[in-house]
Structure 1
Amino acid sequence: MPFKSVPAPFTPTHAATAGGSRRVLRGLWLGALLTLASSAFAQVQGAGASFPSLVYGRWALAYEKSNGGQAVTYKATGSGDGVKRITAREVQFGGSDSPLSAEELAKRHLVQIPMLVGGIVPVVQLPSVPEGRLQLSGEVLADLMAGRIRQWNDPRITALNPGLPLPALAVRRVVRADKSGTSEGFTRYLSEVSPSFAAEIGTNAQPKWPGEVERAEGNDGMVKALKAAPGSIAYVSYDRVQAERLNAVRLRNAAGQWVSANEAGFRASIAESELSRKGDDLASLMNRPGASSWPITMTSFVLIDATPAKGDEASPVMRFLYWCFMHGDDLTRGTGFAPLPLTLQSKLAARFGAVKAQDGKVPHYQAM
C-alpha cells in the first residue's frame, strides 16, 4: 500500500495511497516516511506501524493513479503511536502490528482489519560471515538478545555453524527505541522459545532490555544503526532485508528445519493459523508447524473510526481501503510481504459494514 505522511482519520483494509514523485519516494525509503503529492481531493491521512509502511506507500501510489489523484498520506511512527492517534481521531486510520482485543476496540470505538502478513528477521553486521549463512536456534537467539551471549565466537554459536568463520567480536544489540509492534512480535517469539527470556524480559512493545543496547527509531533507524556498527544484531521487517541487502539469519523452525525468511514461509505460517481458519485477529503466527514456515511471522492491521461524525467524510478512506482489498494482492507480491488468503479477505470485507456514521449516512466505499 502506498501512503504519504500526515495525520488524520481513516479506515481499514488492503488499501493504497496516493501521490509523490520518485524523489519523494527516495526520501521515504531513507526516512520511513511516505510523502505523496497533495490534490484537489480531501486528503486521507494515517500514521502508525513502520513494519508495513513501504508496502502501504506502493498501494497509495497505485491508488492515486487509478483514482484521479486522490491523495493518501501515511507517516511511519510506530504501532503505539498509530493506536494513540486513531483513538484521538488525529488521523483517519492507524497502523498497528499488535491487534487490539474486542473489548479494546469497543472501548475506543474502532474497527480493525488485517491487511497483510510479513516476517520479522534477525539481521547481523559480521564482515567475515557470508550473507545468509549464520544459523541460530530460537534459544540461542533469545540468549543473544538478553545479553547472555556476548561474543560472536561463543561455543553455542559455533556449534550451530561448523566451519563458519565467526569473528571474535563483541555482540552489539540494536533495539527499537519507540513503542513498536515489531518489538512486541519479536519478544513474543523469543518468549515462546525461551522460558528464561519470558521470565526476564517477556512480551512487550517497548521491552526493558538488560545491559547496554543501542536504540533506534523505526525499522529504517534500525537498518542505519546496524550498518554503522560491526558486531551488531538487529531485527527488522523482511522488506528491509531485501531493499538494503542485509545479512539475514537463518532460524530453526518448529518442524526442526533450518529456514530463511521469504514470502512462501509467511504464507505457510498463515495457513497453519487460526487467523486463516477462523479469522481470529488475535491468533499467533509465531512458530507455526510446517516444514517451510518462517517462525517470526505476524499480521499487520489498520484501525479506523467505527462511529465517524459524517458518512460522507468517512467515504474517502473507506474507498481507499476497499480498493486495496480488491487490488492490493498483486501489488503486495514481491514486496517482502504476503497477501491474506482470498477466503479470509472475503470474510473481512464484512467489517466495512461495522462503520456506522453518527449522521445516519452510509459511507460509500465501493467503486463509483
Structure 2
Amino acid sequence: MTQAISRRTIMAGAAALLSTSPTLVRAQDVLGGNAMTGAGSTFAYPVMSRWAQSYRRFIAGGGDFPMAGAGLDDAPTAQAIDYEPVGSMAGIMRAKDLDFGASDMPLPPKELGKLGLAQFPIVIGGVTVVANLAGIGPGQLKLDGPVLAGIFLGKIATWSDEAIKALNPGLNLPDAKITIVTRADGSGTTFNFTDYLCKVSRQFYDTVGSDLYVRWPGSVAAKGNEGVAQVVRATPNAIGYVELAQALRSNLSFALIENSAKTFIKPEPAAFQAAAASADWAAAGDFGLVLANAPGKQSYPITATVFVLMNKELPQGRARATLNFFRWALDKGANDAEQLGYVPLPEQLVKQVKAYWRENYKAGS
C-alpha cells in the first residue's frame, strides 16, 4: 500500500495534537445554554442533524432524557447539539476536546487507549457510487469490484471501455472520458470505499491502499460528502462516492454494485441491514468491525458504520448529557434514521452499547 497515508501516522498526529493543544472553548461556555459539541463524519451529518432537531423538540416537550443542568421545568434555550461535519479524521483528532467525535472508521482498542477514548456504533449506512451520465437513471448502471477499482485507479479511462460495456449490455454508455471525484479531506467514507476496493482488487491494495486519506492516481478532489455530490452533479461523465442520504438529496444516479455472492445490489437500507446481520459485534473489542464486502446474497458490499468517540475523562455532567442524547437516538431515533436511508442498530447491539457505557462512564448507568 505504497500511496496510502498510514493510519499509524494519522493516529500519531492525533495523539500529539491531543496531548499538546489547550482545551477548546465549547460553544456553551461562550453562548450559555447546554449545547453539546461534536465534530467529524460528513457521512453521519444528515442523520445527526435530523436527530438534533427531533431531540430538541423532545426535551422541550418534557421528554424523560433531560440534559445535565437544563432544569426540569424550563425547556432549554440553546440547540441540543452543535455538530460540525468536518470529516472522520478531524472527528478523531478533536474527540477529546469536544463532547464527542464521529468517525466511519473504527479505531483498534490499543489506539483508543492511547487517546483516552471509548468508541461505540450509532447507525449503519452505505457508501453509494454515483455517476452523472446523460440518459442513465438510478440503478441502471452496474459495476463490479474489479471494474470499479480499475476506474478509480485510472486504468479504465472511458465510459465506452469494454469492461464496463460487458457489465451493461444494451446500456447507451457515452464514448467519453471518466472524471473521477474523490474526497479532499480525511474521510471515513473514503476509508470504507477504499477498504472495499482493497478487498476486491489486489492492484488497488498494492498501489493505493485503504485509509481515511489516500493519494488517488488522478481525480478532482472535493471537501465532504456534499462537496463530492456537488462536483459530480455539475460535471458530465463524472463518478464519485457519497453516503446514500447525500445521493438522494442531490438527486444523483447511483450504480448497482456486485457483492461477494455475485449479485448486483441496490444501495438501500434492507441491503445495509443484510450486511450488518453478518457482524459478530460481541467478539469485536470496542465494536471495531468493518462491514465492507460482507457475505450474503442480499448484502450491499460497501456498507459502513458510524462510530462515536468520547473522552473517558469527560466531566460527568457533560458525559451524562451526551449519552442521554445518544440513548434517545438509539431508543427513539430509528424513524428519523430510516427516513434518510440509514439502518438503526439492531436491538441486541443497542443492549451491548448501553452495557459498554456502564463499563466506561459513571454517567452511563
2:279 aligned residue = 273
CA distance in 2, matches of 1:317, 1:284: 25
The aligned amino acid for 1:343 is Q
Report the aligned-residue RMSD.
2.3
1:23 aligned residue = none
Number of aligned residue pairs:
325
User: Which residue, 245, 253, 260 being the options, matches 2:251?
Assistant: 245
User: Which residue, 127, 145, 148 being the options, matches 1:141?
Assistant: 148
Moved more, 195-204 or 271-280: 271-280
TM-score (norm 1): 0.83
Residue 331 of structure 1: how far off its partner (Å): 2.3
Residue 184 of structure 1: how far off its partner (Å): 0.8
2:233 aligned residue = 227
CA deviation vs aligned residue, 1:304-351 (integer Å, no higher than 9, x gap): 11112x322432222212222221223211211101110111011012
Matches within 5 A, 1:307-326: 307-308=313-314, 310-326=315-331
State, as a whole percentage, how many aligned pairs show the same letter: 34
1:111 aligned residue = 118
Q: 1:304 to 1:230 in 2, by over 3 A?
A: same
1:255 aligned residue = 261
- Could you list the runs of 5+ residues in structure 1 that have no partner in the other structure? 1-6, 11-34, 357-361
1:75 aligned residue = 84
CA deviation vs aligned residue, 1:172-229 (integer Å, no higher than 9, x gap): 0000000111101100000100011111111121111113x10000000001110111
Instruction: Give SS of 1:295's match.
Output: coil
- Could you list the runs of 5+ residues in structure 2 that have no partner in the other structure? 1-22, 60-74
1:29 aligned residue = none
Residue 269 of structure 1: how far off its partner (Å): 0.3
CA deviation vs aligned residue, 1:31-55 (integer Å, no higher than 9, x gap): xxxx9xx986322110000001110
Q: 1:141 to 1:276 in 2, by over 3 A?
A: farther
User: Which residue, 196, 202, 216 being the options, matches 1:195?
Assistant: 202
Q: 1:131 to 1:324 in 2, by over 3 A?
A: closer
2:358 aligned residue = 353
Instruction: Give SS of 1:174's match.
Output: strand
The aligned amino acid for 1:344 is L
2:20 aligned residue = none
2:349 aligned residue = 344
1:207 aligned residue = 214
User: Which residue, 164, 169, 177 being the options, matches 1:162?
Assistant: 169
User: Which residue, 38, 42, 46 being the options, matches 1:46?
Assistant: 38
CA distance in 2, matches of 1:123, 1:323: 32
Instruction: Give SS of 2:95's match.
Output: helix
CA distance in 2, matches of 1:196, 1:166: 26
2:72 aligned residue = none
1:27 aligned residue = none
CA distance in 2, matches of 1:119, 1:263: 8
